Amino acid sequence: MIDHMITAIFLVNAIWYGMGFVAFYLRRNVFAKVMVPRKEDRENSAYAAVVESGRFMGGFNFALSVLNVLLVFNVAGFETPAQLAVLLGFNALSHGSQFAGNVPMALQNLKGEGLWRVFKGVMLQIFIIDFVLMIMNATLALILLS
């Protein structure tokens, strides 16, 4: 049963990171508009840098997606539960860092401030999904270590 749960979470991670690759790398112009929602703020070189930074973030997401795809097909290849726990912990940290990176902006949003809207649209989905995946990966890692 636990092996199926681990395989499932690696698959979900792979899909989520793959979606990040599409959003950040392939659709970086759309993502940049989410990050800089006001049109009048987009007419400068800093906005162009935001657009192009999508390649950098997308590249990391692609690598993480491929890693998790490989893990889906190799769960049985690990000798100890601790080895899988390390990989799940890494995924938890990865999702957690994305969630934590949005917390300061979310707090600013609560005051009617902030550069982008965390509690609306695609950013809300990212905020929630990264939190849920952080908890799921961490929980499975802890189960394996207990």
The domain of 6 spans 2-145
Question: What is the reported pLDDT for 132?
Answer: 98
- pTM value is 0.91
pLDDT, tens digit (0-9, with 9 covering 90-100), for 53-110: 999 999 999 999 999 999 999 998 998 999 999 999 999 999 999 999 999 999 999 9
Radius of gyration of the chain from Cα atoms?
17
Measured distance CA(55)–CA(51) in Å, rounded: 8
Dig out the tokens for 31 from the structure: 């993502």
* Domains held by the chain: number: 1
